[in-house]
Structure 1
Amino acid sequence: MVYAIFTASVVAAIGAVYACAVGWLWFRQERLLFEPDLLAHDEPICADPDTREFFIEVPGARLSVAQLRNEKSRGVFFFLHGNSGNLKKWFVELDAFRKANFDVVMFDYRGFGKSSGQIESEEQLHADVKAVWEHFAGMYEGKRVVIAGQSLGTGLAAGLSAQLSAAGRTPDLTMLVSPYSSMRALAAELYPWVPLQVLRYPLHTLEHAAKLLGPVMLIHGDKDELIPIRHSEELCTAMGKGKCKPQLLRVTGAGHSDVHLFPTVRKALASALGRL
């Protein structure tokens, strides 16, 4: 009897600890998913004379935006960055776009860099992406449009491309660097003990992938331990069953954080922009 009572007490204690851990994850997952770095308002994002920075107002926040402008612009490379840092980290290595006569537009999510506010939901993230895109859409009417994302930004980029395709404004290229099939699937791999219902940012890239039209380029390092390359393979298979034309570039030796530094990736980017 004593043993049974002791066992029941241990099980109850473990259950209580588990419930507390799950509850903590529910309310604090923004701190786990997003790793923003703040940037002082008087610190420039980029000092190049052909770039500019400004803010776009969205409900409850001001989003920091950086833009490279080419005099003979053929189009725009609209890029959604990963889950860490700020635009000073991501708005770099612009010469490839200058050579291809492409403008570049990036923005910081809420709480990143100079952007105000805090990320509160996946719906809010998608709404912010759409608001920033709509600010520039008219400027690039009739020109080439590339919607791109890296890591966290790939789910958002796929969602925007799917929306544009459904509205009859199919991007000329969708580029996903180190994408995940869904954040829910990735979380199940990394944290199998956590109930999937706890994740408030499922980011179902795979669902968007089935709705994409036009060319799609996926780029993934074969040594990526955070988001394994099988996520890109799954996306590529799903897209191949739809109406888009997927291409998967496997980057030999590349991990998650360094894939964009490999010469094969830079060459593929220059070639893709040159063909548009």
Structure 2
Amino acid sequence: MVGLSMANVRVAADIGALWRRALALVAALAGSSYLAALAWVYCYQETLIFQPDPLPATYRFALADVHEVDIPVAGATLSALHLQLPNPRGVVFYLHGNNGNLATWFSNVEFYREANYDLFMLDYRGYGKSSGRIESEAQLRADVLAAWRFVAPQYAGKRKVIFGRSLGTGLAAGLAAAVQPDLTILVSPYCSMAQLMHSNYPLLPTWLLRYPLATCQDASLLHGPLLLVHGEQDRLIPVTHSERLLSVASQARLLRLPAAAHADVHRFSAYTEELLGALQAL
């Protein structure tokens, strides 16, 4: 009986050792998979952040008073559209969201005609007819600044407005902090891409992010008025991001749209009325 008991003990010990080795192997595989996922996110995060919709070079925009513009930048050419009215009060420099292209974003032109403001909007690299591809935040910001330097001198003595929506709000805030326009408008903004990433992907460390786009930090440097617009039903970028911006930008005011979500903000009359009033008040 003693010999049988000792055999049972040895069997149990062997089984325990097998379980420990199996668990160690599972942990190692899980760790390797996690590290591989981190490496993929770091190297290919552009595919998560940017969703360009290219257009053929032969595509033509059929819009009255709207001119196609090509802006040469390092290693690429940016495509832009420029609504030019006979005697505008100024220009709205518009930075759009992370998907689509100018064919879908350059809309509601009649609103700008009514406000008597020219509208200038560009496609980022890889979007629409713009060539190249986005490779870094520094490159993206440099492209936006190049486009601003192309158009802003045409409006000496007139009002200059920088407008960002969704993804474009981080770029708009950074540009506005650098050039200090007469008015900055941020629609559905985020306080920073890092905060947005942490909320949506809490298991991913924020140091992976190569596009921090610190909107709150840049907005705190603005001297002129800042208009924030946010839908309270926005699940992609919650209204709390605009509330944080409101707390750091002394010249800011926030229009909350109770029934609006993320993609439909522009469909509400309160939105167009607020924008029109802000432009005409300059």
TM-score, normalised with respect to structure 2: 0.93
SS in structure 1 of the partner of residue 27 of structure 2: helix
Superposition pairs for residues 223-242 of structure 1, below 5 Å? 223-240=233-250
SS in structure 2 of the partner of residue 119 of structure 1: coil
Q: Does 2:167 match 1:161?
A: no
Query: What is the rounded CA distance, in whole Å, between the counterparts of 1:105 and 1:88 in structure 2?
Result: 13
Amino acid at match of 2:160: V
Corresponding position of 1:17: 33
Corresponding position of 2:210: 200
Query: What is the rounded CA distance, in whole Å, between the counterparts of 2:20 and 2:63 in structure 1?
Result: 72
Corresponding position of 1:62: 77
CA RMSD, Structure 1 to Structure 2 (Å): 0.8
Query: What is the rounded CA distance, in whole Å, between the counterparts of 2:264 and 2:243 in structure 1?
Result: 19
Query: What is the rounded CA distance, in whole Å, between the counterparts of 1:99 and 1:260 in structure 2?
Result: 16
- 1:272 Cα offset (Å): 1.2
Which of 83, 87, 92 is the aligned partner of 2:107?
92
Query: What is the rounded CA distance, in whole Å, between the counterparts of 1:232 and 1:251 in structure 2?
Result: 12
Corresponding position of 1:110: 125
- 1:117 Cα offset (Å): 0.1
Amino acid at match of 1:237: S
Which of 51, 73, 98 is the aligned partner of 2:88?
73
Kept in 1, the 8 Å contact 2:101–2:128? The answer is yes
SS in structure 2 of the partner of residue 114 of structure 1: coil
Q: Name structure 2 gaps, 5 residues minimum.
A: 1-16
Query: What is the rounded CA distance, in whole Å, between the counterparts of 1:227 and 1:40 in structure 2?
Result: 32
Corresponding position of 1:136: 151
Superposition pairs for residues 182-221 of structure 1, below 5 Å? 182-221=192-231
Query: What is the rounded CA distance, in whole Å, between the counterparts of 2:40 and 2:135 in structure 1?
Result: 15
Which of 257, 267, 270 is the aligned partner of 1:251?
257
- 1:6 Cα offset (Å): 1.1
Q: Name structure 1 gaps, 5 residues minimum.
A: 166-170
Corresponding position of 1:31: 47
- 1:153 Cα offset (Å): 0.3
Query: What is the rounded CA distance, in whole Å, between the counterparts of 1:209 and 1:195 in structure 2?
Result: 24
Query: What is the rounded CA distance, in whole Å, between the counterparts of 1:23 and 1:260 in structure 2?
Result: 38
Query: What is the rounded CA distance, in whole Å, between the counterparts of 2:60 and 2:182 in structure 1?
Result: 31
* Rg larger for: 2
- 1:271 Cα offset (Å): 1.1
Corresponding position of 2:166: 151
Query: What is the rounded CA distance, in whole Å, between the counterparts of 1:266 and 1:49 in structure 2?
Result: 22
Q: Does 2:69 match 1:43?
A: no
- 1:48 Cα offset (Å): 2.2
SS in structure 2 of the partner of residue 214 of structure 1: coil
| Residues matched between the structures, number | 266
Kept in 1, the 8 Å contact 2:152–2:160? The answer is no
Query: What is the rounded CA distance, in whole Å, between the counterparts of 1:267 and 1:131 in structure 2?
Result: 31
- 1:18 Cα offset (Å): 0.6
Q: Does 2:192 match 1:179?
A: no
1:181-205 deviation digits (Å, cap 9, x = unpaired): 0000000000001111111100000
SS in structure 2 of the partner of residue 96 of structure 1: helix
TM-score, normalised with respect to structure 1: 0.95
- 1:128 Cα offset (Å): 0.3
Kept in 1, the 8 Å contact 2:78–2:125? The answer is yes
Corresponding position of 1:275: 281
Query: What is the rounded CA distance, in whole Å, between the counterparts of 2:104 and 2:146 in structure 1?
Result: 23
Corresponding position of 2:10: none
SS in structure 1 of the partner of residue 72 of structure 2: strand
Corresponding position of 1:168: none
Amino acid at match of 2:199: E
